[in-house]
């Protein structure tokens, strides 16, 4: 086993069985409930056995139906053959922790909505701050997801910036930024990207020099191509022009684990932008993406805890520190699942935020998977790689029959459909639309007979992908040849 594939400090580590964990969790909650003395559940909550059986059967049938059937079911997000969107099930420990806390159903809007999960939330925010290199007094909390985390960061930015100062985002930033800027009544300025999909620094400097921009949103790990905005160069630019800097690390934030000087990261992984997260004013990160959590778990962190004053409603506090964090007072949302904090807490106790233990090796495997596949694609005559992957997302397209964008588009769609429709060995990818300009920058031989073309996109966010890319590549290359002939 190569040194960088270290899985755990302990030799006997294995993937835990979710049923055993659930059973232990349910037993513990049963015992806890029993300790509060017997009572009779109200008959109004009863369900007749036949109705229950039929409804449960229908429910489970729908969840597990054929994805391509009449009433479409779920795609196999858990399986390495699913390499399409940012979707995978939580780790078994997160599932068990969530189920246990959910039976109690604490509400993390306030510490007394459930003190244990409230405290766990403070602890995991501390863990995330440490991973990102933010100071220990950084203020933060969990959110429903990245969109709300970004909204809160942009809202605080608006409160701090002079009126009408624009928010600069790159064209490749998540689409929800402009939507949320609309909610906030702030204008966004879309900056062009370079050929690799990263924010263009020259355009950023021009915009900052103009004086209209108050806040810059950088994305280390874009949702489309996994491109990493050059944060280490954006930080000094924002300082020079006095702009606030928010990092939308909803997808990419956990890659910070592999950005340490001595962390083993594969070739082409840009460490410097992830190290620069430490210098951002705020960071959004989604544990429900690369943190092995079920949906409903984003986070926002602020370098300066004093921004807590903007959240003040009837709170007597004028200065906030993480010690004095009263969750509901520093969050736009009110009710939030304490179970989400519990699940993340247990996960990080089992799989800590370290480069060589816990989550680091999970992320490392995903990065290696993308590089391994990129190498195979480049060596293959059947496919073309759009650009070298920076994180674990890659875009590519079948070698088209004619050197035109319309042929690229058609071939990509046909391969996508064909792979998904296979009965015995399907592969699930996604489609991503690329502008003629970007495609031609990489492939000048392609004629721009339309404005954009769909290419194939794959998110290799499961560590199992590392050992499955040969198979995935084989299947995709085979489909490309079949579509061509």
Residues near ligand PLP (CB under 6 A): 145-147, 150, 174, 176, 219, 223, 248, 250-251, 286, 298
Q: Which is nearer to ligand PLP, 153 or 278 (CB)?
A: 153
Give me the residues paired with residue 446 across strands: none
How many Cα atoms within 13 Å fall on the side-chain side of residue 234?
36
CB of 370 to ligand PLP, least distance (A): 16
Give me the residues paired with residue 297 across strands: none
CB of 252 to ligand PLP, least distance (A): 7
Q: Which is nearer to ligand PLP, 132 or 405 (CB)?
A: 132
Q: Which is nearer to ligand PLP, 174 or 371 (CB)?
A: 174
CB of 145 to ligand PLP, least distance (A): 3
CB of 158 to ligand PLP, least distance (A): 18
Strands 393-398 and 452-459: antiparallel
Contact 287, 249 (CB under 8 A): no
Backbone angles phi, psi at 310, to 5 degrees: -70, -20
Q: Compute CA distances 310 → 121, 159, 166, 343, whole Å.
A: 20, 8, 19, 29
d(CA 372, CA 467): 9
CB of 13 to ligand PLP, least distance (A): 29
Q: Which is nearer to ligand PLP, 117 or 170 (CB)?
A: 170
Q: Which is nearer to ligand PLP, 144 or 305 (CB)?
A: 144
Strand order across the beta sheet in which 430-435 lies: 383-385, 393-398, 452-459, 430-435
CB of 18 to ligand PLP, least distance (A): 23
CB of 92 to ligand PLP, least distance (A): 22
DSSP string, 432-467: EEEEHHHHHHH-TTSB-SSSEEEEEEEE--SGGGGG
Q: Which is nearer to ligand PLP, 289 or 368 (CB)?
A: 289
Q: Which is nearer to ligand PLP, 147 or 430 (CB)?
A: 147
Residue in the shown chain whose Cβ atom is closest to ligand PLP? 146
d(CA 45, CA 252): 44
Residue with tokens 């520093």: 330
CB of 341 to ligand PLP, least distance (A): 16
d(CA 480, CA 476): 6
Q: Which is nearer to ligand PLP, 16 or 296 (CB)?
A: 296
Give me the residues paired with residue 300 across strands: 141, 284
Backbone angles phi, psi at 82, to 5 degrees: -90, 110
């Amino acid at each position: 086993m190569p040194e960088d594939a270290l899985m755990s400090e302990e030799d006997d580590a294995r993937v835990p069985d979710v049923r055993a964990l659930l059973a232990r969790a349910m037993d513990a909650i049963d015992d806890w409930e029993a300790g509060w003395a017997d009572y009779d559940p109200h008959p109004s909550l009863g369900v007749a056995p036949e109705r229950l059986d039929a409804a449960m059967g229908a429910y489970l049938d729908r969840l597990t139906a054929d994805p391509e059937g009449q009433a479409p079911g779920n795609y196999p997000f858990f399986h390495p053959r699913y390499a399409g969107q940012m979707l995978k099930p939580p780790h078994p420990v997160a599932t068990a922790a969530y189920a246990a806390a959910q039976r109690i159903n604490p509400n993390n809007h306030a510490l007394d909505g459930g003190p244990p999960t409230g405290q766990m939330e403070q602890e995991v925010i501390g863990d995330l701050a440490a991973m990102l290199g933010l100071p220990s007094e950084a203020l933060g909390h969990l959110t429903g997801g990245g969109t709300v985390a970004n909204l809160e960061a942009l809202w605080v930015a608006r409160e701090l910036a002079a009126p009408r100062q624009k928010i600069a985002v790159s064209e490749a930033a998540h689409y929800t930024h402009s939507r949320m800027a609309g909610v906030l009544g702030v204008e966004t300025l879309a900056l062009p990207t370079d050929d690799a999909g990263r924010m263009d620094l020259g355009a950023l400097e021009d915009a900052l020099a103009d004086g209209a921009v108050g806040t810059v949103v950088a994305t280390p790990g874009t949702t489309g191509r996994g491109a990493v905005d050059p944060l280490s160069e954006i930080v000094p630019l924002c300082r020079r022009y006095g702009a606030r800097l928010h990092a939308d690390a909803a997808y990419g934030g956990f890659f910070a684990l592999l950005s340490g000087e001595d962390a083993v990261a594969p070739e082409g992984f840009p460490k410097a932008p992830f190290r620069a997260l430490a210098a951002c004013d705020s960071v959004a990160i989604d544990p429900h993406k690369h943190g092995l959590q079920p949906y409903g778990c984003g986070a926002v962190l602020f370098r300066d805890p004093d921004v807590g004053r903007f959240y003040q409603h009837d709170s007597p506090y004028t200065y906030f520190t993480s010690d004095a964090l009263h969750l509901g007072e520093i969050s736009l949302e009110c009710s939030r699942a304490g179970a989400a904090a519990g699940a993340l807490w247990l996960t990080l106790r089992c799989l800590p935020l370290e480069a060589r233990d816990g989550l680091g090796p999970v992320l490392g495997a995903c990065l290696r998977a993308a590089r391994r596949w990129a190498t195979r694609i480049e060596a293959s005559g059947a496919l073309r790689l759009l650009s070298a992957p920076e994180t674990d997302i890659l875009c590519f397209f079948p070698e088209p029959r004619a050197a035109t964008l319309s042929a690229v588009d058609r071939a990509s769609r046909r391969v996508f459909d064909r792979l998904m429709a296979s009965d015995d060995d399907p592969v699930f990818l996604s489609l991503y639309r690329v502008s003629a300009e970007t495609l031609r920058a990489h492939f000048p031989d392609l004629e721009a007979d339309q404005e954009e073309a769909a290419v194939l996109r794959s998110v290799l966010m499961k560590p199992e992908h590392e050992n499955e890319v040969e198979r995935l590549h084989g299947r995709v290359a085979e489909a490309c040849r079949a579509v061509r002939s």
